[in-house]
Amino acid sequence: MADVLTYVLHRDGAFNKNSLGAVSEGATRAAEVGGSCHAVVVGGDDLTDALCATLGEYGATKVFRAAGPEGLAQPVIDVMDRVISEHGHRYALFGGGLLGFEIGAGLAARRHAGVTMEVTAVRAQDGELVAERPILQDSKISVSHYRGELGIIIGRINAFEIRKPDAAVGAAEVIDVAVDYSPWSQRARMVTRGEQRGADVDIEGAEILVAGGRGLGKAEGFQLAEDLAKAFGDKAAVAATRAVVDAGWYPYAAQIGQTGKTVSPKLYLAAGISGAIQHKVGMQASENIVAINKDANAPIFEFSDLGIVGDLNKVLPKLTDALRARKAG
Ligand SMILES: Cc1cc2nc3c(=O)[nH]c(=O)nc-3n(C[C@H](O)[C@H](O)[C@H](O)COP(=O)(O)OP(=O)(O)OC[C@H]3O[C@@H](n4cnc5c(N)ncnc54)[C@H](O)[C@@H]3O)c2cc1C
């Protein structure tokens, strides 16, 4: 039997979407290898029986609930370690994101387990789960097989779609787990929880999007995109590629593409973006696409209405100045 254990983060009475994707994926894949998907939740009184049971809709048959601090990695590792010791899960699966990475890595160290990060697909092969991970700038796929008692799979953020599997159980069984947290797990405490900068930007509603990619060079490079969006006025916002979101240069809420948002603004201005297919699918319906790229052979020029071959560090400030001058005049 190959059961899958997931961790589900929650806040203000709602489960995190990335975690729900992990439960859906865990349930679907566990069924393919004759197992079940279980979830771990850690938190306070707001983790009610009724709320926890709703994870059954996404395919979790059991929810292990522990009282403890929410949103910190080490206590979750303690709980998962305990649950795996008692129930013998074969896989632990996470939806990605910084917390998922930290818990997955910590659990791998604790249980001497193999771990694969940035997984974009999981499939069953010969009764076992294997994880696929793009490598070499996404040009190749590496496949991980797991030896040993536990295999750990950490997805790319939002790589796992939220689904309500046909085999969903309805309400999951909720089981309380009492855990003696390790001394080191109690050393960190949550000071505040909040949304990332830019997370509240209405990308889908914006008429003009100034999108930045790796060509911006570093997180501070986004200032050029923000200045231009500001010069366009209230209806403009800044968007980003996955490469820069993964690098931590800009928040996920601004990501356009296959694993981000799909938009169709009046103007999509792409600065330092190569035009990978996974990005294209999220913005190709834009009314007008303008691309700035220093490489005349960049794929984005193949589907742009207007292409500027040049250094964005020169072109973006000039556009911003021109817009400001026009508004002032
Ligand atoms: C399963 C899966 C899902 C994915 N989902 C998404 C998604 O949702 N969204 C997404 O965007 N990607 C997604 N990707 C990643 C995608 O394949 C690309 O890796 C990514 O879009 C590349 O981002 P980029 O264009 O910023 O970077 P790069 O491909 O590195 O391109 C940077 C560009 O900047 C140009 N440049 C550099 N310096 C300058 C300069 N000074 N002036 C002008 N131009 C410059 C370069 O010529 C280059 O064309 C996904 C990949 C996979 C495998």
**All structural domains of the chain:** 4-186 (3.40.50.620), 208-328 (3.40.50.1220)
Q: What is the pLDDT of residue 201?
A: 67
- The finding on whether 312 has its CB within 6 A of some atom of ligand 1 is yes
- The finding on whether 243 has its CB within 6 A of some atom of ligand 1 is yes
Q: How far apart, in whole angstroms, are the C-alpha atoms of residue 329 and residue 327?
A: 5
State the average pLDDT for the chain: 92
Q: How far apart, in whole angstroms, are the C-alpha atoms of residue 62 and residue 76?
A: 16
pLDDT-derived band of residue 180, with 50, 70 and 90 as boundaries? very high
- The finding on whether 246 has its CB within 6 A of some atom of ligand 1 is no
pTM above 0.85, yes or no: no
End-to-end CA distance of the chain: 72
Q: What is the pLDDT of residue 96?
A: 78
- The finding on whether 280 has its CB within 6 A of some atom of ligand 1 is no
Q: Whose CA is nearest to atom 49 of ligand 1?
A: 274
Q: How far is the CA of 117 from the centre of ligand 1 (A)?
A: 20
Q: Please choose, from the candidates 134, 146, 114, the residue with its C-alpha nearest in 3D space to the C-alpha of residue 29.
A: 146
Cβ partners under 8 Å of residue 183, min gap 6: none
Do residues 263 and 256 make contact, with C-beta atoms less than 8 angstroms apart?
Answer: yes
CA angle 6, 7, 10 (to 5 degrees): 140
Percent of the chain scored above 90 by pLDDT? 76
- The finding on whether 304 has its CB within 6 A of some atom of ligand 1 is no
**pLDDT exceeds 60 at position 197:** no
Q: Whose CA is nearest to atom 23 of ligand 1?
A: 243
Q: How far is the CA of 274 from the centre of ligand 1 (A)?
A: 5
| 212 CA closest ligand 1 atom index | 26
Give the strands of the sheet with 91-94, arranged side by side: 114-119, 151-155, 91-94, 4-7, 37-43, 60-67, 173-176
Query: What mean pLDDT do residues 204-208 have?
Result: 89
Query: What mean pLDDT do residues 169-178 have?
Result: 92
